[in-house]
Structure 1
Amino acid sequence: MLSYLAAALPHGVSAAARLVALQCALRMDSRMQVRLPVGILRSLRLSTPHPWQELEQARWLCVCTSPRPGEVMIELRDPALLGQSPSRPDRQRAADWALRAGHGARTAGESGLGHLLSIHVAAHSDPVTGRGQGEADRMARECGVEAQDLLGALARLAAIGVLKWWQVCPDTGDVQWSCTSQHANGGTNPDE
């Protein structure tokens, strides 16, 4: 889903807005509607209107008035999402996994980029060894940042203990990393 969102969302959409888009895409129903509890938004630190406004300006979603108190109702505007997503139960498990992978005790207080990169790293790491590898430009695109900002965010994840180490391979430009044992699979991998 991160790869799809990298292609579907405009280049300038922030990491915080991409976190909202990820949760919406994974939680949508067959009518492309999403009901997000306000508690999830608070835990993601996304209850501010800026990420929503970015996605509305990109014409990717529309925030609607919810008939239920304590939730936000969203209508997604990207019909291609229906063809990109696995079944709804699998998507809901993946949404819950992404919450755990991106929002552990170590990432508390981190920016939207820190949370999104934490999810990306967990999704692309071996659940047993915690090691992973990815193309730096692809990682940057999927997280909505420039390459130099990606390197700073990786350094921050290492500083707070999400990553044991990371490096950019001089020959290929790929990023390699090793997650700490608590973050290696972000809880329970959605593919299991």
Structure 2
Amino acid sequence: MISYLASALPCGMSAAARLIALQCALRMDSRILVRLPVGVLRGLRLSTPHLWQELEEARWLRTLPSRPGEVVAELLDSALLSQHPSRPDRHRAADWALRAGCAARTAGEGPHVQLLSIYTSALNDPATGQGQGEIDRMQRDCALEEHCVLTALDRLVAIGSCAWWRACPDTGDVRWGCTSEPNMGEASPGPG
């Protein structure tokens, strides 16, 4: 879903707005409406109205009148209906995404690190606790510049969301893991 949103949202869309879009896309109903509890937004540290305005200006959603304690929006991207599994699975994915970004949130990291934490967690192989991705795709999907991806990966290691990461200069890929680095002895963060 993060990859789909990277292509559906404008390039300049902030990581914070992308986090809201992710929750909206995963929590929408069959009429492409979403009711997002304000508590979820506070938990994401994204309760500011300008982020909703950013998504409205991109013509991706329209906020609707809502009751206190929630934000109701109509998503304007009808292609979202073909991007998901069933609604219960989407809701589980939305809750999982909140937890996957939790270490970054509780460590006081910004939305870029939160989004990258969710992205790397989604690409982890459950059997090995390791993942791999193309750095240019990580940049696009997480709205980061290349040097910012590397800095954000360092932050994931520092807060414990990731045990190590390595840049693969020959392929342009990045590898990371939640356990000690295989066949490399003592894990050390970063490309060096």
TM-score, scaled relative to structure 2: 0.89
Q: Which residue of 1 aligns with 2:62?
A: 62
Question: Structure 1 residue runs of 4+, over 3 Å off?
Answer: 104-108
CA-CA distance at 1:65 after TM superposition: 1.4
CA-CA distance at 1:126 after TM superposition: 1.3
| Separation of aligned partners in 1, 2:171 and 2:104 | 33
| Residues 14, 145 of structure 1: 8 Å contact kept | no
The alignment partner of 2:174 has SS state of strand
Structure 1 residues 166 and 43: alpha-carbon distance in aligned structure 2, compared to 1, 3 A threshold? same
Q: Which residue of 1 aligns with 2:90?
A: 91
| Separation of aligned partners in 2, 1:106 and 1:7 | 25
- How many residues align? The count is 180
- The residue identity in structure 2 corresponding to 1:11 is C
CA-CA distance at 1:105 after TM superposition: 7.1
In the alignment, structure 1 residue 171 sits paired with structure 2 residue 170? yes
CA-CA distance at 1:52 after TM superposition: 1.3
Structure 1 residues 133 and 73: alpha-carbon distance in aligned structure 2, compared to 1, 3 A threshold? same
Q: How does 1:144-155 map to 2 (within 5 A)?
A: 144-155=143-154
- The residue identity in structure 2 corresponding to 1:175 is V
Query: What are the ranges of 5 or more consecutive residues in structure 2 without an aligned counterpart?
Result: 181-192
Q: Which residue of 2 aligns with 1:34?
A: 34
Q: Which residue of 1 aligns with 2:47?
A: 47
Q: Which residue of 1 aligns with 2:187?
A: none
The Cα offsets for residues 48-105 of structure 1, whole Å up to 9 and x where unpaired, read as 1222121111000111111x32111011010111111111111011001101111137
CA-CA distance at 1:135 after TM superposition: 0.4
| Residues 103, 159 of structure 2: 8 Å contact kept | no
CA-CA distance at 1:180 after TM superposition: 4.9
- Largest Rg, 1 or 2: 2
| Residues 106, 161 of structure 1: 8 Å contact kept | no
Which structure carries more relative contact order (alpha carbon 8 Å, separation 6+)? Answer: 1
Q: CA RMSD in A?
A: 1.5
The alignment partner of 1:41 has SS state of helix
